[in-house]
Amino acid sequence: MAFVVQPSARAAFTLSELTDSYEQFKERAPQPLDAATGPRAVAYRFGGCVLFVYQEFEGDAVILMHPSA
């Protein structure tokens, strides 16, 4: 499984926060994805910032992103 950190997440979170989020996401054993259920996603809050972690549909990449304004 690939671990992709978007620039918005790199700028807003520490390496430790990103790593912890990814590890928690992996531990929850992502369910198989299909067109009916869509991608699996989790939101983590660190202080006043939110980090979204999701697995791409039909892919092995896990994306970490911070919604920027």
The mean pLDDT value of the chain amounts to 79
Contact call for residues 64 and 56 (beta carbons, < 8 A): no
**pLDDT of res. 66:** 85
Residue 52 burial class via C-beta count within 10 angstroms: exposed 0-12, middle 13-18, buried 19 and up: middle
**pLDDT of res. 52:** 87
CA distance linking residue 23 with residue 14, whole number of Å = 14
CA distance linking residue 49 with residue 12, whole number of Å = 8
Query: Considering its fold, how many domains does the chain have in total?
Result: 1
- Average pLDDT over every residue of 53-61: 73
pLDDT digits (tens, 9 = 90+) for 22-52: 888 888 755 655 666 666 778 888 888 898 8
Q: Whose structure tokens read 């980090």?
A: 51
For the question of whether the overall pTM of this predicted structure is more than 0.85, the answer is: no
Q: Which domain holds residue 59?
A: 2-65
**pLDDT of res. 47:** 84
N-terminal to C-terminal alpha carbon distance within the chain: 29
